[in-house]
Amino acid sequence: MADFNMFFPTLLKHEGGFVNDPADPGGATNKGITLLTFKACAQNLLGMEPSLANLRALTDAQAGVIYKTQYWDRLRADQIALQPLANILFDFYVNAGGNAIKLLQTVLNAQTGGALVVDGRMGPATFAALASSNQQDLYARYRAGRKDYYQRLVAARPALGKFLKGWLARVDSFPSAV
């Protein structure tokens, strides 16, 4: 089964440090964690005031607590058999929220001819389809679908074009097949 700690250092490399780009819909982020996410969980998870100053001072260990509880565990990614599939799904979930799960459901439907509801939730039906899928094939299709997602996003919202090269490079950092 997949292990959060196997991918977390790679995620931190992708996410980098503190950024507050006015063109980024996420606003102020540190280690990829938005101020909005930080405000929602800093007090409960870290016991700290959810301020911009504390977001700036966020440690890798604190970021790990947030990523594990708010992203990895919500995906139930530790129940995914293929580590690279869990990695790319988790990485996209960090970047695109429920759209990552919608893509998974869409790809599962295409792969299996299934009729999963594409609702962006990792429910029992999605897990059942995932468990019975060819996960290596699913991984390759998911990776390609993620690239397509970014290209369609930029076509619909041209102002995000400045991020496309980085998004595609991030996808390309994952092996094309496993």
Residues 58-112 have pLDDT tens digits of: 999 999 999 999 999 999 999 999 999 999 999 999 999 999 999 999 999 999 8
Last residue of a domain, one of 79, 108, 129: 79
Q: Residue 152: which H helix or E strand, with range? A: helix 135-156
Number of H helices, E strands in the chain: 10, 2
Last residue of a domain, one of 25, 46, 79: 79
Is the per-residue pLDDT at 23 higher than 80? no
Q: Tell me if 170 sits within 8 A of 100, measured CB to CB.
A: no
> Is residue 175 located within the same domain as residue 93?
yes
Q: The whole model's pTM is what? A: 0.93
Structural domain range at position 171: 83-178
Give which of 92, 102, 34 is closest to 63, Cα–Cα.
34
Is the per-residue pLDDT at 7 higher than 90? yes
